[in-house]
Amino acid sequence: MTSAESTKLALTIRAVVHAALRVVFEPLRIPSAEGAAIECGDKKIRVLHPGFAIASMDYEEAAVESLNRGVRARHPCGACHVETSEQHATGRHFPRRTISEMKAMLQEALAAKTLKAEKEILQKFGSYLLENAFWCLEHSNIYLALCYDILHSDDLGKLKKLFKLLKVHLNELGLGGALNEVFSTLPPYPGLKHFNSVTTIEYTDGNTMFHIMKVLKWKLDHPKRHALTHVFEDIKEKGSLINSSTRTGESMIQEIKASCYQTNGKDTDKGVGH
Ligand SMILES: [Zn+2]
């Protein structure tokens, strides 16, 4: 797929998802602004404003929901304004996107006189020429709600891939021995495994991988690395990460899929519900 084709596909996916979300959000649009009388668990009726405080998902899904251009964009984080080359700087604070500036960006891009000017405006924000469906809900902010997810950001599968790439790279540079020396000469530390020849490890379990990654201070400009920048802010604003982890939902997807395949493909809600 050429770069133009993949951009077109990404745009189509985002247009379809946000059109669907607008339909889903429509019944919530007015109550989110004006409130709705709802009977709560304690039988008391309260005026509530439906909305969302936490949006927990993997990086690709977050890019779709925030209308971000994804990993190859100059600004690849849906939540903030970090530049690609700054993603390794996890100690730095990057300002969150705001709904008003993203709306202003869209208006500016729509009013651009040339395609080139339109593209430049969109690229400056790593976004697309689309209206975000989340904007229709009052008191909700998708950029603030996007949250550090322990399942996807700390995923061991990714660490294994990262370690494999690092070994190939170091071996090409003739530095494999140096890495082994770093690992083998580390002083013992409680709870930390010792490795004499880390570069010869081919297949290993997640726990060993976790120990290897604890030792390695890898420095990469990658969205999963950058996600760490938001972790403390997310905990302060949204509570313990266990509450926003997608781990529970992800395992449910398998069960829902299995139930769905047992239906005749029509009116699946009832079939899956049983
Ligand atoms: Zn960010």
- How many angstroms does the Cα of residue 231 sit away from the middle of ligand 1? 10
- How many angstroms does the Cα of residue 210 sit away from the middle of ligand 1? 24
| Strand bridging mode 36-39 / 45-48 | antiparallel
- How many angstroms does the Cα of residue 165 sit away from the middle of ligand 1? 24
Among residues 157, 102, 166, 158, the alpha carbon closest in space to that of 130 is found at: 102
- pLDDT tens across 241-252, in order? 877 777 777 777
Is pLDDT above 80 for 270? no
- How many angstroms does the Cα of residue 74 sit away from the middle of ligand 1? 12
- How many angstroms does the Cα of residue 120 sit away from the middle of ligand 1? 20
Long-range contacts of 250-256 (CB under 8 A, 24+ apart): 250/151
Q: Which two tokens stand for residue 127?
A: 């976004």
Is residue 238 a contact partner of residue 53, using CB atoms and an 8 Å limit?
yes
Is residue 148 a contact partner of residue 142, using CB atoms and an 8 Å limit?
no
Is pLDDT above 80 for 191? no
Helix (H) / strand (E) element for 47: namely strand 45-48
Mean pLDDT: which of 54-68, 203-217, 236-250, 252-266 is highest?
54-68
Is pLDDT above 90 for 213? no
Report the pLDDT value the prediction gives residue 88, as an integer from 0 to 100.
79
- How many angstroms does the Cα of residue 45 sit away from the middle of ligand 1? 39
Is residue 90 a contact partner of residue 226, using CB atoms and an 8 Å limit?
yes
- pLDDT tens across 84-127, in order? 888 878 788 899 999 999 999 999 999 999 999 999 999 999 99
DSSP assignment letter at 80:
B
Report the pLDDT value the prediction gives residue 218, as an integer from 0 to 100.
47
**What residues are paired with 127 via a beta bridge?**
68
CA angle 15, 237, 133 (to 5 degrees): 15
Q: Identify which has the larger pLDDT, 106 or 173.
A: 106
- How many angstroms does the Cα of residue 11 sit away from the middle of ligand 1? 21
- How many angstroms does the Cα of residue 75 sit away from the middle of ligand 1? 9
Confidence band of 221 (pLDDT split at 50, 70, 90): low
- pLDDT tens across 50-92, in order? 998 888 888 889 999 999 998 888 999 999 999 988 887 878 8
Residue with tokens 């593209």: 119
Q: How far apart are CA 239 and CA 156, in angstroms?
A: 23
Q: What are phi and psi of 45, to 5 degrees?
A: -95, 130
- How many angstroms does the Cα of residue 177 sit away from the middle of ligand 1? 36
